[in-house]
Amino acid sequence: MDKQEVLQSIKELSQSGQLSQAEVLAAFTGASIMPAATIEPKSLKLSEIMYYIGGAIVFLGICVLVYQNWDFLSSGLRVFITLGSFIAAFVVAILLNRYADLKKVAQAFFLISGMLAPLALNVTLHESGFDISSNSIQVLIFLVLTAIFFTAFYFYRQVILLFFGIVFATGIFHFLINMLVGNNLSYTDATKVWEYRILVLGLAYMFLGYYLYFTSQKALTGVMYGFGSLFFLGAAISLGGWQPNQNAFWELIYPLLVFGVIFLSVYVKSKSFLVFGTIFLIAYILKLTGEYFSSGLGWPLALVLAGLAIMGVGYYAVRLNKKYFRQQI
């Protein structure tokens, strides 16, 4: 590894909060260095939260302005307000990002630009005469946005840029599936496509979260694990169906999936896996009792057994939390 690579690694680690100035100086002077495991994880400060809330309100204000005055705005003004606001927020974020004490403010402007980006491109193409209801046009829009935000992340290394890059890449996946399956599906088939789409997306998010854990952008790991486990387990329980149209395969395999996520939470140290795994295990227990024991004397007995099972699940989840996660908080 040459000097430039070392300096770049130090820069990335410092921006992600994994390396402090004191540790770098200690390495030069030969002083003892605090073990990485004892470094407290970064948390959002009140000022950062206010920046993000302010950015969200700015985005909301622009949306309301366009919505309320849409019929009164000329085509050029619609494009100017939406596309111009997106470009302005993006440029301001880049300029602020050059100063160390303004990087958090820059993230807020990157947030504004990320939220405005789809609106800006949709309005621009709509006013240019394109059919934005077309899946191919939407794929083009999200391809452009993905390229913009991943390129920006490459240069500026802000986690918020990576987050929007992932969101827009998800948009590409969504509209590509729409292109492949077409618009003539029955309600049942369209529902199945949605379930499998969300299942694959959840699995992809979980793998991506695991990969990000070993990079300087590990701050997104928890987000990816949370959405990944929610999507994956939610889609899997939905694929099991409901009486009398159950899918035997998914109903039988679901306990393996949900317990797999719970046990995986210990391996990857993810509270998201534990929380959502526990919630969906409880949902599965209630679903089974509702399907197979909803009549006669079996229903009260099933409810009693389900309640006891849920208490056991809760007790086990608390034990896991105390044993494996309490020290990470």
Q: What is the pLDDT of residues 75-103, one digit of tens each?
A: 999 999 999 999 999 999 999 998 888 88
Q: What is the pTM of this model?
A: 0.77
Q: Which amino acid appears at position 56 of this protein?
A: A
DSSP E strands, 120-230: none
Q: Which residues contact 306 (CB under 8 A, 6 or more apart)?
A: 285, 286, 288, 289
Report if residue 276 sits inside a domain: yes
How confident is residue 33, by pLDDT bands cut at 50, 70 and 90? Answer: very low
How confident is residue 159, by pLDDT bands cut at 50, 70 and 90? Answer: very high
How confident is residue 23, by pLDDT bands cut at 50, 70 and 90? Answer: low
Which tokens in the block code for residue 140? Answer: 């083009």
Q: Residue 120: exposed, middle, or buried by beta-carbon count in 10 A (0-12, 13-18, 19+)?
A: buried
Pick the closest to residue 282 from 310, 312, 254 (CA basis). Answer: 310
Report if residue 171 sits inside a domain: no
Report if residue 275 sits inside a domain: yes
Report if residue 239 sits inside a domain: yes
How confident is residue 114, by pLDDT bands cut at 50, 70 and 90? Answer: very high
Residue 131 scores a pLDDT above 80: yes
How confident is residue 11, by pLDDT bands cut at 50, 70 and 90? Answer: low
Report if residue 292 sits inside a domain: yes
Expressed as residue numbers, the domain containing 321 is 195-329
Residue 37 scores a pLDDT above 70: no
Number of separate domains in the chain: 1
Report if residue 65 sits inside a domain: no
Report if residue 77 sits inside a domain: no
DSSP 49-99: HHHHHHHHHHHHHHHHHHHHTGGGS-HHHHHHHHHHHHHHHHHHHHHHTTS
How confident is residue 40, by pLDDT bands cut at 50, 70 and 90? Answer: very low
CA distances (Å), 157 to each of 11, 53, 98, in order?
10, 22, 12
Which of the listed ranges 5-9, 11-15, 30-34, 117-121 does the model predict with the highest average pLDDT? 117-121
Report if residue 91 sits inside a domain: no
